[in-house]
A and B are shown apart, each in its own frame.
Chain A
Amino acid sequence: MTVVDRRDFLRAAGGSAAALWLTHWTAVEAAAQQAARLAASGTRAHTWDALTAEQAAAIDAFAARIIPTDDLPGAREAGAVYFIDKAVASFAQELRAPVTSLAAALDRAAGPGRVFAALAPEAQDTILQRVEKDSPDLFGAVRFAVICGTFANSGWGGNRDEAGWRILGFEHRPVWTKPYGWYDLPENLGRE
């Protein structure tokens, strides 16, 4: 939001309410900057908090099949695996067991001397179908973690560069004004 918008808002909101809102605005901005810093802190040479490099590779490949990349980013670009690593190490340790057993199961299914991450996407999908059928709880738990890692705020470790939100066509702003969408554009009002 530009400074001009802000002034407009203050005029619209009027006296004391505006002053009150200004204090909140500082908090809005601080939160946005914090999120940006966190998003920028990701680096390629990553040291994992909880996963081994092999587990991370398997989970990342799994994530990339749950939400594949096309003209829009997928769970891989969103860095879902970074979220999962952080979650397992700190704020959602109950994920450790399902994540490590799924990683092991995927590599086992890839066959002797091979790893899941190196298979072609079609072969990976065949394995996913089998795991989904044979171990629905395991599959579901890690699928859920991939979704959280793709769409939750980047402060939790995933959704890098708001990749997940771009899939949805979602934009985060502290304040919106009308028109919100197509149907409330002035030229479309009254169309049946």
Chain B
Amino acid sequence: MQPRTPRYRPTDVVDFIVVGSGAAGGIVARELSRAGLRVVVLEQGPYRRASDFLPHDDYNVFIRNALTNDSAQQGTTFRSTEQDEAKPGNPVWYARGVGGGSVHFTGNFWRLHPEDFRERTLNGDVPGAALADWPITYDDLEPYYTRVDWEIGVSGQAGADPREPRRSRPYPMPPLPVKPEGLLMEKAARKMGWTAFPAPMAIASQPFRGRAPCQACGYCLGFGCEFDAKSSTLVAMIPDAERTGRCEIRSESYVRKVETDARGRVTGVIYFDRERREVFQRARAVVVCANGAETPRLLLNSASARFPQGLANSSGLVGRHLMYNGNVVAGGVFEHETNGYKGPVVTRVVQDPYVLDPKLGLVGGGGFDFRFDSPPLLYAIRGQGTAMPQWGAGFKRALRDFPKTVYAYGHTTSLPVPTNSVSLDPTHKDAWGVPSMRITYREHPNDMKVYRWFLDRCGDLLDAAGALRRWEDPINDAPQGSPHLLGTCRMGNDPATSVVNAGHRAHDVPNLFIVDGSSMVTGGRGQPTMTIMALAFRASEGMVRWAKRAG
């Protein structure tokens, strides 16, 4: 049964506006409305239901960007350094729609480890990077990781990871059934003296809170789940929020500016409705959860006489320290069928080099998975990277390797570099006439070496697993279409060196909160969304306390 949801008028002063309904925004909406607060969620993308994710259609999803941002329409530009002129490009990749990136993501769900919160203390000053400790510790966040496990729905096996950080409760669901690639990874890890353990995944392996478990359809990375088995905020949080009768999800509502008054307080936001009419929605407070790329863009586009550098930007750090995480890929062909196109993408991971051996002289670390993530069309386009003949009999032969192909992925740190950033393009505008996002990104030299080390080990793992032949994707300095968008409104205790405080409130604006990928001080080892969700649960508690105090 469809719950009755309120329709607020723009002139109603609601308690909170939440901008963006993704991994963080979906949780914030649910937590605030369950606490008795009146909430309007403004989401630029559409409100899709499970049946909208059929038919499985890789052309629509990957070539026509059916679920994702469209760089051409949005006028997004890219340059590698501040000296270069930015050109139209496709640097970032995120989902538009209720549930945001939690709808179409792969579901790899790694907690950070205690050392991720203390990178500055552990590594000292790294030239060219602005490493900093978080204002909170792993122990501060642990209860919220546990809430994510149990309220969002995570499958996994406690105790299987030899490096597992402390957890206060086991997983609510057992791991997903191991795939052939997972078995090959176990074999490879054994040979290398490493441990392959069941991947923690935001996918139900059993019936969970009224949702069906994974049916192994194989259309996961980039797709929404027609069974509601993937633990997105669309299925795990938004229905709870609507059930309160206090939360309105207003989809196809694109926020262009957060408005402030002469006292420097937020009064509401201006957005375009689906007919592209401008609407001003009032609120007592605003939470921006628009992701690590769109959040800084919105704040910069919210400049005013009082905040000439952009909102919440007295530090000048809004948009800076953009981190993508390193992501390297090798592929191999095996003797027998793995049929990776059946089932979820990943079932086994290795995290032995979570912190690289100090003898290597590199800062960082990461982990690996063995996976298959290329539905038919993607395989034909780039299934064997540059190793693939382009046409003719050779191409045809390569295509036949489809059911025997396995990818080894390395997921790593990337350092927070101040010049890697989201800023406003001085000339390009999007289809609504709003200044476009300009990405400036160049990998730190340390990170290029970290990526190389991980890619070499990807090759070793494939060899140890018995690949008949293998190839590697080249390491790009600043890849296009990056799916991890982190660090651009970092949290911290000092208003001079951070944008939000440990409670995710903007240092400069008393009734503005920011929580999403932009909050992360360092980027972890490559699967940020579990942490983004834990931060959202934690931040929501603080917002509720704040709202009650403020009356």
Contacts and interface: CB of A to CB of B under 8 A. Distances in A.
Interface string A137-155: 0000001100110111101
B337 interface: yes
Most chain B CB within 10 A, of A24, A164, A177, is at A24
A184 to B, nearest CB: 5
Given A67-B396, A147-B377, A172 B56 contact: yes
A23 B400 contact: no
Most chain B CB within 10 A, of A9, A143, A156, A168, is at A168
B55 A31 contact: yes
Contacts of A113: none
18 contacts: A9-B215, A13-B213, A21-B227, A24-B212, A67-B399, A128-B392, A147-B380, A151-B379, A153-B55, A169-B402, A174-B215, A174-B217, A175-B216, A181-B180, A181-B342, A182-B337, A183-B336, A184-B179
B393 A68 contact: yes
Contacts of B183: 183-184, 189
B396 A181 contact: no
Contacts of B338: 180-183
B381 to A, nearest CB: 6
A74 B337 CA distance: 22
A183 B215 contact: no
Interface in A79-99: 91
Interface in A160-192: 164-165, 167-170, 172-178, 180-184, 189, 192
Interface of A is mostly: helix
Contact of A153 (B59, B217, B336, B402): B59
A164 B180 contact: no
A176 B216 contact: yes
B184 interface: yes
B63 A148 contact: yes
A144 B64 CA distance: 14
A169 B403 contact: yes
A167 B51 contact: no
A167 to B, nearest CB: 5
A26 to B, nearest CB: 8
Contacts of A24: 50-51, 54, 212, 226-228
A66 interface: yes
B179 A180 contact: yes
A53 interface: no
B339 interface: yes
A20 B228 contact: yes
B58 A152 contact: yes
Contacts of A70: 393, 396
A123 interface: no
Contacts of B180: 180-184
Contacts of B376: 151, 164-165, 168, 170
Given A167-B396, A182-B180, 16 more contacts: A9-B215, A18-B212, A20-B212, A68-B393, A132-B391, A148-B59, A151-B379, A165-B376, A168-B379, A168-B403, A170-B341, A176-B343, A178-B177, A180-B343, A181-B403, A189-B183
Interface of A: 9, 13-18, 20-21, 23-24, 27-28, 31-32, 34-35, 65-68, 70, 72, 74, 91, 125, 128, 132, 143-144, 147-148, 150-153, 155-156, 164-165, 167-170, 172-178, 180-184, 189, 192
Nearest to A62: B391
Contact of B51 (A23, A35, A68, A181): A23
Contacts of B526: none
Interface residues of B, number: 54
B377 A148 contact: yes
Contact of A170 (B60, B336, B403): B403
Given A20-B228, A181-B339, A183-B336, A68 B178 contact: no
Contacts, number: 162
B230 to A, nearest CB: 13
B218 interface: yes
B243 interface: no
Nearest to A70: B396
A183 B183 CA distance: 7
Contacts of B377: 147-148, 151-152
Interface string B38-81: 00000000000011001111111001100000000000000000
Given A24-B227, A168-B402, A176-B218, A17 B55 contact: no
A143 B54 contact: no
Interface of B: 50-51, 54-60, 63-64, 177-180, 183-184, 187, 207-208, 210-213, 215-218, 226-228, 336-343, 376-377, 379-381, 390-393, 395-396, 399-400, 402-403
Contact of A28 (B54, B390, B392, B402): B54
B402 A170 contact: yes
B396 A74 contact: yes
A177 B391 CA distance: 34
Contact of A180 (B184, B228, B342, B392): B342
Contacts of B207: 13-17
Contacts of B60: 153
A164 B379 CA distance: 11
Contacts of A21: 212, 215, 227
A13 B395 contact: no
A17 B210 contact: yes
A172 B395 CA distance: 22
B51 A27 contact: yes
Given A20-B228, A23-B51, A28-B54, A169 B215 contact: no
A35 to B, nearest CB: 7
Nearest to A128: B391
A192 to B, nearest CB: 6
Contacts of A74: 396
The 7 tightest CB contacts between A and B, nearest first, are A182-B336, A152-B59, A31-B55, A183-B180, A168-B402, A181-B339, A176-B342
Contacts of A27: 51, 54, 226
Nearest to B184: A183
A61 B402 CA distance: 25
Nearest to A67: B396
Contacts of B212: 13, 17-18, 20-21, 24
A9 B213 CA distance: 10
A11 B186 CA distance: 32
B99 to A, nearest CB: 17
A125 B393 CA distance: 11
Nearest to A180: B342
Contacts of B396: 67-68, 70, 72, 74, 167
Contacts of B51: 23-24, 27
Contacts of A165: 376
Contacts of B187: 192
